[in-house]
Amino acid sequence: MSITEDEVFAQAVDNAGFLWSQRDGAARDPRYDLKGLAEVDGRLAAQLDLLARGGRAAWDGCAAAAEEGGAGEVFAALSLALARRDQGDIAALIARGIDAPAVARGVVSALGWAAPELVKDVLPALLGAKAEPALRTIGIAASAVRRRDPGPALKEALSAEDARLRARALKALGELGYVEGLDDARRALSAEDEAVRFWAAWSAALLGEARGVDVLLEIAAGGGALAERAAGVALRRLGPHAGARWLRGLGESPGTARAAIAGVGALGDPAHVPWLIERMSAPRLARLAGGALSLITGVELVREELEGPELEEAGPSDDPEDEDVGPDPDDGLLWPDAAAVGRWWARRRGDFAAGKRHLWGRGVDLEGLNEVLRRGSQPARAAAAIERCFLRPRLGVFEVRARGEAQRAELGV
């Protein structure tokens, strides 16, 4: 049975939305490296190219899907609108992200994915002084994802009354290596808004400000929503001995156990691997502990046959009657087999020097970090990008979520 043109384009719209979601997960998934990410990108680009050749019929399908769909459908529609250079459709789709942060991710992703000539007029319009705060937030986010200086709009946003805009501007300081904005980050370290304070501390730490590390440690010890991310940066700045002192006791409290595991992975000292293995028997800690082990040693759980069965009561429930409803924070991480990992460590512990920091089995120096960026898993690559900032703050954070072909060109692989 033959299929109609409309059905072909409808399938391409579905494929593009699905592939964007797959790519979004792959960017954080330990099973993917740069090569794997680039392969997903190739499949996504092929669907977008098909839609771009489809004329009005393809656009109508994209627009309809974006009306009811999520971030992936909005990404596909905005990508096509940018290719068509239809300013009205572009503006309407960007507006979808104003009140819906989940949809805004698709908007920012499309603005980051598009060729430079397709956004050269769009981004300045979003960054204009007359644009509402939500649009300026999207504009700064898209500029930062592209590692493009937003210009005067960034400086203005650093003192904005709108908390989301200010937080996004503060994050951009570290991403772009904008040392000139360090005073603005320092002033925001005592902000009442948690996100503003976190991103001020995050960027300040990346730019070499010790007080930023102190604030991140406070956030990590508080055990809130940002505790793991805070520990994942702060412990990289402490060193093995100071880090071990700070972690002592933190991992025994249920409220801060996850932050402690994230901190151990960031610290990178193999001396803590036995402690991580003990946590692999706890359903809510197992995958995070497995990820931390891989981050330190570079071990691939599947390749080494260290993957285990899913443990019960692992993450939030999808039962609407259950109070514990929400996204699984460890989605994409692998289940380790604690016993198998213990045996593996007994054989391999001599390969890793206790008291010395490791990242993906390598030393934390510029040569090792660049090698991780070229060959490592996506979580390891993200960690290497942060570590490289500590060595050279003005470099900014290498964007490990950028289009694979662009990353490969920049890294020479």
**Mapped to the 3 state alphabet, what secondary structure does 23-55 carry?**
HHHHCCCCCCEHHHHHHHHHHHHHHHHHHHCCH
Strand positions, DSSP E, 274-317: none
Check residue 315 and give its pLDDT.
Answer: 53
Check residue 325 and give its pLDDT.
Answer: 42
User: Crossing angle for the helix pair 87-95 and 55-68, nearest 10 degrees?
Assistant: 20
Tokens of 140: 């700064």
User: Above pLDDT 70, what percent of the chain?
Assistant: 96
Per-residue pLDDT tens for 278-320? 999 999 999 999 999 999 999 999 999 999 999 976 555 444 4
d(CA 73, CA 51): 13
Check residue 50 and give its pLDDT.
Answer: 95
Tokens of 80: 């096509």
Give the mean model confidence (pLDDT) for residues 223-231: 97
Q: Residue 94: beta bridge partners?
A: none
pLDDT higher than 70, residue 346: yes
Report helix, strand or coil for 109: helix
What does pLDDT average to over the chain?
A: 94
Check residue 316 and give its pLDDT.
Answer: 53
pLDDT higher than 70, residue 407: yes
For 329, the enclosing helix (H) or strand (E) is none
Nearest to 312 by CA among 278, 292, 335, 332: 335
pLDDT band at 68 (very low <50, low <70, confident <90, very high): confident
Check residue 7 and give its pLDDT.
Answer: 82
Considering 61-65, 66-70, 186-190, the range whose residues carry the highest mean pLDDT is 186-190
d(CA 264, CA 241): 12
CA distances from 85 to 27, 90, 278 (A): 28, 8, 55
With b for 16 or more beta-carbon neighbours within 10 A and e for fewer, the 67-92 pattern comes to eebbbbbbbbbbbbbbbbeeeebbee
CB atoms within 10 A of CB 194: 15
90-104, 157-171, 216-230, range with the lowest pLDDT: 90-104
Using an 8 Å Cβ cutoff, are 292 and 261 in contact? yes
Check residue 363 and give its pLDDT.
Answer: 94
The domain ranges of the chain are 1-119
Per-residue pLDDT tens for 121-164? 999 999 998 899 999 999 999 999 999 999 999 999 999 999 99
- The length of the chain is 413
Nearest to 26 by CA among 13, 16, 37, 18: 37
d(CA 273, CA 271): 6
CA distances from 158 to 144, 177, 208, 214, 276 (A): 14, 15, 18, 21, 39
